[in-house]
Amino acid sequence: MPSAKKKLLLLLIIIIFFFFFSSAFFIITLFILRGSTSIKPFYHISRPSCTSGNSSYFSHRLARRSTSREEEPPLTAKELHLLSRVGAGGPSRNLLFFGLNPQFLPLAETTAGAGGSAIFLEDDANRVRRFGSDKSAVHLVKYNGEAAKAYELLRQAREDRSCRRPVGSGSCRLEIAGLPREVREKKWDVVVVDGPRGGRPESPGRMEAIYTAAAVARRGNATDVLVHDVDRMIEKWYSWEFLCHENLLSAKGRLWHFRVEGGREEDEFCPTNRVMIM
C-alpha cells in the first residue's frame, strides 16, 4: 500500500510538472510570435522611388519637435520619416501644408534655406500666433464644410461639373473661400494634408483640403501628396475620390503617400472606379 501511494504521488508530481512546463512554453512562444508578427495592409504597397541622403537627418529633427496634448495624435517617428524622405527630395522645392503642425516647421525651414518655398494654410488664428515662423508664409483660411456634411458634399461634388475644373474657376462647394492666388497658381512638389483638425462632427473636416490638394497637384508635372489620419472615414473617402487608388505609392501608420501626375486634360480626378457610398 505505501508503494502504491508513492507511485500515485510520483505520478501527480510528473503531471504537475508537465502542465507547468507546457504552460510556460506556450506563454513564451506567444510573446515571441506577437513581437515578430506585423499586420499586412489589405492593398499592395510599393516602396517610394524618391530617396535622399539627408532623410534620416530631417526625420530626427522632425521627431524632436513635440506637440501639446490638444494637438494629439501627432505623427509617429515612422510617419515623420516617410514625410522627410519625400519632402527632402532636392533643392528649390515648393512645399504646401494644410495645417500648421509644429512638427513640420524644421522641414519647412530647411526647404526655405535651400532656395525653396513653404506655405502653410491654417484655420486657427491661435495656432498661427503660437507656431508661425518668419521662414515660411502662413495664410489664415476658412473652411466651410463641417465634418458631419462630408457625405453630402461628396455626393454634390460628383454631380457638380464645376468641381472637376481647376480650383477657382467655378462654384464648387469644396473650394476653399479666399484661397491665395499663389497657392492656386504655383506648381507644388509636395503637398501635405494634416488640417483642419476635424476631430468632431461640428468642426471643419478635411474635405476641402484634400480636394484642393488634388486640384493644385494637377498643375505640376508630378506632385507628391501626403494625407494624415487616414484611419478616419473622411480622409479615406476623399483620398480615394480625388487622389486615386492607383496613385498610392506607400503608407506608414496613418499617413498615405500619393503621386499625382499633372498635365492631364481630363476633367475627372480619378478615371477608374469611384468609392462606393450608400
Of 73 and 200, the structure prediction assigns the larger pLDDT to 200
Helix (H) or strand (E) run with residue 121 in it: strand 117-122
How large is the average pLDDT for residues 146-153? 95
Task: Name the pTM for this structure.
Answer: 0.73
Amino acid 47: pLDDT:
35
Q: How far is CA 146 from CA 121, 151, 170, 212, 270, in A?
A: 17, 10, 21, 16, 24
To which residue does cell 513581437 refer?
Answer: 35
Of 228 and 10, the structure prediction assigns the larger pLDDT to 228
Is the pLDDT at 21 greater than 70? The verdict is no
Is the pLDDT at 242 greater than 70? The verdict is yes
Q: Contact at 8 Å (CB) between 154 and 237? A: yes
> Strands (DSSP E) along 99-221, which ranges?
117-122, 137-140, 190-193
pLDDT per residue as tens digits for the range 53-112: 444 434 444 444 444 434 557 999 999 999 999 998 778 899 999 999 999 999 999 999
How large is the average pLDDT for residues 26-55? 40
Q: Contact at 8 Å (CB) between 74 and 67? A: yes
Please state, in angstroms and rounded to a whole number, the distance separating the CA atoms of residues 180 and 125.
17
The mean pLDDT of the chain is 80
Please state which of the ranges 38-52, 145-159, 201-215 shows the lowest mean pLDDT: 38-52
| CB-based contacts of 135, cutoff 8 Å, min separation 6 | 105, 108, 109, 112, 113, 118
Written as nine digits, the cell of 29 is 512562444
Please state which of the ranges 21-25, 133-137, 220-224 shows the lowest mean pLDDT: 21-25
AA letter at 257: H
Is the pLDDT at 138 greater than 70? The verdict is yes
Helices (H) and strands (E) in the chain, counts: 9, 7
Amino acid 178: pLDDT:
87
Please state which of the ranges 68-82, 130-144, 202-216, 239-253 shows the lowest mean pLDDT: 68-82
Please state, in angstroms and rounded to a whole number, the distance separating the CA atoms of residues 208 and 32.
45
How large is the average pLDDT for residues 169-177? 83
| Residue 41: exposure state from Cβ atoms within 10 A (0-12, 13-18, ≥19) | exposed
Is the pLDDT at 250 greater than 60? The verdict is yes
How large is the average pLDDT for residues 238-251? 95
Closest CA to 66 of 136, 117, 131, 139: 131
Please state which of the ranges 15-19, 61-65, 164-168 shows the lowest mean pLDDT: 61-65
